[in-house]
Amino acid sequence: MKRFDKGYIYSALISDLLTCLVIAYIFMGDFFLDETAKKDDILAAIPFFAMAFIITYLCFVAYRIVYYMTSGYELTEKEIKCCRGVLFKKSSVLEYTNIHAINKKQGILYRIFGIAVLTLDSGSANTSHTAEITVIEKSGTVDALIRELNALKEGGKRNAESAQEEILLSDNDILYSFTSKRKMLYTLISIASTAFFTAVLGISAITVTGIAKSVLSLDGLGTWGQYFIYSGLITLSAILILSVISFIGTMIHSFIGYHDFKITRRGKEIQISYGLLERQTNTFSHDRIKALKISQGLVQRALGFATIKLEVIGYTLDGDNSNSADLGVLVPFCKYDEVREILEKVLPDYIPDEKQTKSVSFFPFMSYFMLFLAIVTGAVLLQTVLTMLILSVSSSLIATTCFVTVGVAVILLIIKTLSAVLSYKTNGLAISSGKITAYYGGFTKNITVFMTKNLTAAENVTTPLRKKAGITSLVMHIKTNEMSNEIKVHIQKDGLSKEMEDLLIL
């Protein structure tokens, strides 16, 4: 069994040294930097501090050396084997034909030492958050392994010469590139989204507080002119501060996280690579895709932009050890009108069909929320008013409390109404030969496309009144990880359940 590359030890020891320094600063920083600490005490503590630091670091060194000595991998005729771990030894075996996704990752230290992490996943729901096979090798060796494994999982045979063959990609092979212009638009739309929702919250707060000022005649809030000026300045300041934070975060995410983002395809193999500080290269077969999702936030929807994501077990934004079941990004940002053109190049089978059905009633989108809001608002008002009466609180304060509570409830109702209107217009379904396209979402519009062969279950969620009216909500489950396998389309004709049942039977 071949050991991992020695570059792993060097990069890990540098990373561990930085970790030890951070730990030392956390536990000892206050003591050494405290102005009240005596010089003699600091000098006396230095030897003990140095000894503790050295012992801690030696523990890290010992762990890395033992990990290196006991870890490795081997390629046989039919499978790849991997052993790794120190306290908990893990041995994994994965047949080439069961390889679901191949991912290559390089952190900044790994790039300095010219090594990379290769992870392989079988697509099992039980291992959807952890790679089954991990290999740490030279970057060039990892690239050669990727090419060889791609051939082996299609039924090919091991060939040392073909494993080293260099495959050059031309500009024509690049199907999508996240350019600087697109990144700037992506950043500006993120800022616009932040500013919009901050403004909505600010206006709502000004309105509710204004009602309280009107009822209580609060002189501390100044005249009406002063009140609106101060409120406006506070809201504008909040918009500015949050927009700056959004700008910085999105710029870092788009220009560093999505650095040199490219999609390439050769035959059935799709490769997505991105990242500056941590370079990720994800490779998977077309037939391993479980679903495709097109998302549009409220501002994206208004301006005509979208994001395209993929559901492929073993490929997520966070790489091989993700603790979330989030989808992997196929296209971070594009015009909505370009979606069909991009999919024709990359995944023509997943081009969404036009809606064949639509929501048949608006009120069910609001009914449960209105009932819940009425109960909560009534309970809060009743409890608050009774408490204030017992405490002999002034009637003006009681009235103000009631106005504020009702005002908050009205604002929530308005927001929910807007979301319900968007959901009513969005929800729908299209069923064609071998493919299902689901439209759903409120403020965020989602279009999910998946093959009928990946449909594992369908639920008919209804109530006696809805059943009498012939309407239902459909919950579809697809073959994917356990955390995000539901697709819900609301308030459709009850007859669709029969069509879903027929698909499952087939």
DSSP secondary structure, 412-474, as one string: HHHHHHHHHHHHHHH-EEEEETTEEEEEE-SSSEEEEEEEGGGEEEEEEE--HHHHHHTEEEE
Question: For position 24, what pLDDT does the model report?
Answer: 81
pLDDT tens by residue, 230-270: 888 888 888 889 888 988 988 888 888 888 888 888 777 88
Residue 85 confidence (pLDDT) above 60: yes
Rounded mean pLDDT of the chain? 83
Question: For position 441, what pLDDT does the model report?
Answer: 93
Q: Which neighbouring-strand residues pair with 455?
A: 478
Residue 281 confidence (pLDDT) above 70: yes
Alpha carbons 397 and 216: distance in angstroms, whole number: 7
**Strands, E, within 122-217: which ranges?**
133-138, 174-177
Alpha carbons 434 and 343: distance in angstroms, whole number: 17
Alpha carbons 101 and 313: distance in angstroms, whole number: 7
Distance of CA 340 to the CA centre of its chain: 23
Who's near 151: CB < 8 A, 6+ residues apart? Answer: 159, 162
Alpha carbons 445 and 467: distance in angstroms, whole number: 26
pLDDT level of residue 426 (50, 70, 90 thresholds)? very high
Residue 415 confidence (pLDDT) above 60: yes
Question: For position 164, what pLDDT does the model report?
Answer: 39
Alpha carbons 125 and 123: distance in angstroms, whole number: 6
Residue 501 has which token pair? 């049942």
| 261 φ/ψ angles, rounded to the nearest 5 degrees | -70, 125
Who's near 433: CB < 8 A, 6+ residues apart? Answer: none
Question: For position 160, what pLDDT does the model report?
Answer: 45
Question: For position 398, what pLDDT does the model report?
Answer: 82
Instruction: Taking residues 357-361, report their average pLDDT.
Output: 91
Judged on CB neighbours under 10 Å (0-12, 13-18, 19+), 123 is buried
* Higher local confidence (pLDDT), 130 or 300: 300
Q: Which residues of 290-304 are buried (b: 16+ CB within 10 A; e: fewer)?
A: bbbbbbbbbbbbeee
pLDDT level of residue 206 (50, 70, 90 thresholds)? confident
**Strands, E, within 122-203: which ranges?**
133-138, 174-177
Alpha carbons 105 and 139: distance in angstroms, whole number: 9
DSSP single-letter state for residue 353? P
